[in-house]
Amino acid sequence: MKKKLNIILSFLLLLGVWSCNEEKWLTEEPYSFYAPENSYSTVPQLKLSLNYLYNELRTFFWDINGDNAVFMHLGDIAYGGTDFPDGKFNNTRTWLVPTAGMARTVWDRAYRCIQNANTIINRLENSAAGADDKAFIEGEALFFRAFWYNYLAIMYGDVPVYTEEITSAKTDFVRTPRKDVYTQARMDLERAVTLLLDIDKVDDGRINKQAAQHLLAEVYISLEDYAKAIETASAVINHPQMNLMTSRFGTRANETGDPYWDLFQYNNKNRKSSGNKESILVLQYEHRNSGSPTGYNFLRQGFPFYMDIRVYNMADQANPEVVTPTVPATEGLFPISLGGARGIGVIHPSDYFLYDIWGTDGTNDYRNSPYIIVRDFKISNQQAAGYGEWYVADGHADLLKQRNPALYNAYMLRNFYPFIMKFGRTDNALPDDVLAKNSDGSFRLNGLGERVFIYTSMTDPSANSSLKDEYLFRLGGTYLLRAEAYIKSNQLTLAMNDINALRNRANATPAQLSQINLDYLMDEQMRERYFEDYRIMTLLRMGKFVERTRKHNPMGHNVDDHHNLFPIPFSEIERNRDVKWENNPGY
């Protein structure tokens, strides 16, 4: 009996051991597939995660096919050519509300990227990366985290800040004061500057020390530390590998143009391929690369819908003929001289930008030259009245205005306004698979002998993309940041010198000391960097969105006093059920 009892007890003890280890032996160990436990552990995995952050940044600025992205380009520089006068993004009062998608556009992407950056930083220490790789990877991840916290602070004010990887549901976030959000961005960037390499030591398009310093100078301004902003911007400006491009350079230097025009030509953005020492951080485009499927889509949203313009037969006053002046509409071909894009006239530049800010310099300012802002075009449709003539200079636009003012006004709203050619596709070296061809493989030409792009669908790069790398930061912007810090610290002569460095390069009349103030600076920002980034961010950061939109946008009457901040998305307030949030004032 005793022996039998011992056997039973031994069996129960063994069963207890098995029971204690049940959770362990039921747990899967991922040897042959990726899971949270074994990801972010090798250099290739960590770099792949960084590539995701690069792609998120590129997509954020380039994929502007949605209405919310269009809104980010408005303010004092533009308004909506569609939904005019009071629809959609032309009515900030109804567009910018907590329950609308506009409130979430940046919020969701920013926190998605912050979570990814936190994961990289938190797991880096226990990874297999060596010391050099760890420094570079941490520096890039810190830059991205700082970039998005800076954006969140600019747009929303007080927002949650967290620097640890979140691995489970959390409903008790606390909104951090705006100044402390900027401080987190400052700390991240100050450390990133110590880890990143100089611009001449990294591949084109990679985060570098000068890019981190450029962004850090902006953050210092937001923190009202103007001395640090000046010091940091000066470190970029005075770096031996940085210079404003004041002479002709690059792939089209032997053609008619100027140094500012050269900055935006095909293959001229990256310093290693063109010698461009003004570029700081360039977003990269690789044609037909599935990992980088989009280019900058400003051509679709920002170019006029010119294929639908009509002209009268000037010789036949009794029976006016109305035909398409560019190309037959049914063929869907778009001439290279007009950027080659199928514009739809959504982002209409404001009259203040197109005409007022250039003053007496007019087109003598290289940034407003006929090469970079095209204000007229030749009628290339051989079936059109006036074939081979200029639409404006030869009187076709005026004739339409005289005979049918209502139609003329409609055309001027969406179908014809100046072309912003810094993003246009005017280079014959562009990929030939986006150009129309004849059956024998030769390039198809329009009536003026120009190559033409063919439109296949709105998602194809032949229709919308600039097909080029594009700047995120360049040195002209750093000069403007330093000038802003000089103005805010009452060093107006030094601010004037920085502004005039840009104006001298642009062949513009030098600014006078009596002109220097923040409004003049914001006009100069517009002249120098128009549509290179989201204008609304500069206006919000400087607290000027309401004032300048009311003053310079024809739909400015739809802007309310509280619109210098975006609303916190209502869905985020609902989700954060364990800590009550009040929305920003006015929402």
- In whole angstroms, what is the distance from residue 481 CA to residue 502 CA? 12
Q: What is the mean pLDDT of residues 344-358?
A: 97
pLDDT of residue 15: 44
CA distance linking residue 295 with residue 466, whole number of Å: 6
* Per-residue pLDDT at 324: 73
* 451 or 265, higher pLDDT: 265
Nearest to 346 by CA among 87, 17, 3: 87
Q: From CA 392, how far away is CA 397, in angstroms rounded?
A: 5
Looking at per-residue pLDDT, the higher value among 384 and 268 belongs to 268
Which residue from 252, 174, 17 is spatially nearest to 581, judged by alpha carbons?
Answer: 174
Mean pLDDT value across the chain: 90
pLDDT of 457 strictly over 70? no
User: What's the confidence (pLDDT) of residue 328?
Assistant: 60
| CB contact at 8 A, 98 and 568 | yes
Q: Is the pLDDT of residue 4 over 70?
A: no
Q: How does residue 13 score in pLDDT terms, banded at 50, 70 and 90?
A: very low
Tens-digit pLDDT profile for residues 509-539: 999 999 999 999 999 999 999 999 999 999 9
Contact 79/90 with Cβ under 8 angstroms? yes
d(CA 43, CA 30): 19
pLDDT of res. 14: 43
Element (H, E) at 22: helix 22-26
Of 196-205, 319-328, 535-544, 550-559, which gets the smallest average pLDDT? 319-328
| Token pair 């009349």 in the structure block, residue | 509
Whole-angstrom Cα distance, residue 249 to residue 385? Answer: 40
Among candidate residues 540, 542, 530, the one with its CA nearest the CA of residue 506: 530
Which pLDDT score, from 0 to 100, does residue 35 have? 64
Residue 176's SS3 state is strand
What domains sit in the chain, N to C, each tagged with a CATH number? 36-196+543-579 (1.25.40.390), 200-284+472-542 (1.25.40.10), 298-468 (no CATH)
- Residue 341's pLDDT is what? 78
Assess contact for 245 and 263: CB atoms under 8 A: yes
- Predicted pLDDT of residue 34: 61
Is 361 a residue whose pLDDT tops 80? yes
| Chain centroid, CA 566 distance in Å | 18
- Contact status, residue 325 vs residue 314, Cβ threshold 8 Å: no
The percent of residues above 70 in pLDDT, for the chain, comes to 90
Q: What is the pLDDT of residue 23?
A: 55
Name the pairing type of β-strands 333-335 and 279-283: unpaired
Q: Go through 377-398 and write b for each residue having 16 or more CB atoms within 10 A of its CB, e for each that does not.
A: bbbbbeebbbbebebeebbbbe
The reported pLDDT for the residue numbered 126 is 92
Q: Going by C-beta distance under 8 Å and a sequence separation of 6 or more, which residues neighbour residue 257?
A: 248, 265, 371
Identify the bridge partners of residue 374 per DSSP, sorted by sequence position.
Answer: 419
- Tens digits of residue pLDDT in 215-231: 999 999 999 999 999 99
Q: Would you state the structure tokens that stand for residue 266, as one six-digit string?
A: 């095909």
Does the pLDDT value for residue 271 go beyond 80? yes
472 in helix, strand or coil?
strand
Average pLDDT of the segment spanning 563-586: 97
Lowest mean pLDDT among 65-69, 239-243, 498-502: 65-69
Token pair recorded at residue 82: 């569609």
pLDDT the model gives residue 386 = 85
Q: Which of the residue ranges 133-142, 321-330, 415-424 would you say has the lowest mean pLDDT? A: 321-330
Residue 210 has a pLDDT of 98
The per-residue pLDDT for range 45-84, each reduced to its tens digit, is 999 999 999 999 999 999 887 889 999 999 999 999 999 9
**Which DSSP helix (H) or strand (E) runs through 474?**
strand 470-474
Segment among 24-33, 354-363, 477-486 with least mean pLDDT: 24-33
Q: What is the pLDDT of residue 12?
A: 44
Question: Strands, E, within 484-575: which ranges?
Answer: none
When pLDDT is cut at 50, 70 and 90, the band that residue 25 belongs to is very low
Confidence of residue 11 (pLDDT cuts 50, 70, 90): very low
* 331, pLDDT greater than 80: no
pLDDT at residue 329 is higher than 70:
no
Asked whether residue 566 carries a pLDDT value surpassing 80, the answer given is: yes
- Whether residue 64 contacts residue 297, with contact meaning beta carbons closer than 8 Å, is answered with yes
Lowest-pLDDT choice from 277-286, 304-313, 332-341, 476-485:
332-341
Which residue in the block uniquely carries the two structure tokens 């006239």? 345
Q: How far apart are CA 260 and CA 89, in angstroms?
A: 31
For the record, the structure tokens of 75 come out as: 């303010």
Nearest-5° angle of CA 375, CA 519, CA 537?
80
CA dist 252 and 235 (Å) reads 31
Least confident window among 40-54, 125-139, 316-330, 470-484? 316-330
* pLDDT value of residue 418: 95
Distance from C-alpha of 198 to C-alpha of 201, rounded to nearest angstrom: 5
Q: Which two tokens stand for residue 345?
A: 């006239």
Tell me the residue type at 332.
G
Tokens 């391929």 locate to 273
What pLDDT is recorded for position 426?
83
pLDDT at 17: 45
* pLDDT-derived band at 202, boundaries 50, 70, 90: very high
Neighbours of 308 (CB within 10 A): 16
Cβ neighbours for 482, distance < 8 A, ≥ 6 positions apart: 217, 229, 230, 233, 234, 237, 498
